[in-house]
Amino acid sequence: MNIDKVTLHTLIASKLTLAGLSADYAAVMADVLVFAEARGIHSHGTVRVEYYSERIQKGGITLHPEIRVETTGPCSAILHGDNGPGMVLSKQAMEVAIDMAKEKGIAVVGIKNMSHSGAISYYTQMAAEAGLIGLAMCQSDPMVVPFGGAEIYYGTNPLSFSAPGRDNIMTFDMATSVQAWGKILDMRSRDKAIPDSWAVDASGKPTTNPHDVRGLLPIAGPKGYGLMMMIDILSGVLLGLPFGRSVSSMYADLSKGRDLGQLHIVINPAFFGDQQTFLDNVQQVMGELNQVRPAEGVEKVMYPGEIADLEQARTEKEGIDIVDSIYDYLKSEHVWINSYDHKDPFAESH
């Protein structure tokens, strides 16, 4: 099904409102979800709406959270989220970080007790659009087999970085597993096979069937494993939150808050040199990367985030393609159809 951004935003926001979320909060969540779909990050787009709706209706997301910003130092703060909607909390925390970095040069803002926050490149791009450098990282529930291990321990623990150029933004957004879990959910919904380098089955063997996945693999083996550790410490241990295999499961009990953590770091280039020179130089890097001689079979070397930029430009004109069954769900009067509650981390909907 092909749909324009405005219509998709309305459908998502309406569904989340039907689940019990306020119109303002639903609009923010729809902003982030449509952002993901428009940029080709389908793993963090409409495929997640039913899950969010079920958790909202069952009480696992605080509908009217008591959000409190605690300034802990000249360049640091903690946003206490009361298990409110992760996207709302993440956006607010990035706004705090942006304001702080504009004044102080750098900001480190942690978020405590939040729900899933979607595609975190949305928040780092907020910083870049303000002329600042943005870095974000967050915990996720245990789904990844550590390098050399035979059982899951860390989450996919994503990392995003955005830097502004004169005309464009360079953005790097990655899970520290070979693929995000949401990507496998997307492949399930499309009934497509996955590469055998993404995940393992219950016996620990590589699988191409997204329905058989029982553990994800870290990107680049020990390197991805190390990054997972770093992100878990910075967004969990540092904030006094559950960490490692103690991080709450996405599906274990949808009536309870997840108590997740996230960290935003924002840097103001003007405190480290000339702001305009920085913007020019980042833009120059993008142009020089485009001019690198491509390898055989490759049309052009692209800067990080360029593929998503091109996809966003395309969807602005041509609309967004979503799975028919998800469109039918968004159009329906059901809050949720398939139950995710009290499932293992690799739950199949039914």
User: Nearest Cα to 41, choosing from 199, 197, 182, 213?
Assistant: 182
- Alpha-carbon distance of 229 to 226, in angstroms, equals 5
Dig out the tokens for 131 from the structure. 């002329």
Active-site residue 116, yes or no? yes
DSSP for 6-64, written as a single string: HHHHHHHHHHHHHHT--HHHHHHHHHHHHHHHHTT-GGGTGGGHHHHHHHHHHTSS-SS
Q: Which of the residues 9, 42, 44, 116 is marked catalytic?
A: 116
Residue type, 167: D
DSSP code string of 74-91: TTEEEEEEEEE-HHHHHH
Q: What is the dihedral of CA 130, 133, 139, 142, to 10 degrees?
A: 120
Checking DSSP bridges between strand 76-84 and strand 106-114, what pairing results, if any?
parallel
Segment (H or E) for 174: strand 169-174
Task: Identify the bridge partners of residue 138 per DSSP, sorted by sequence position.
Answer: 262
Catalytically active residues, by annotation: 116
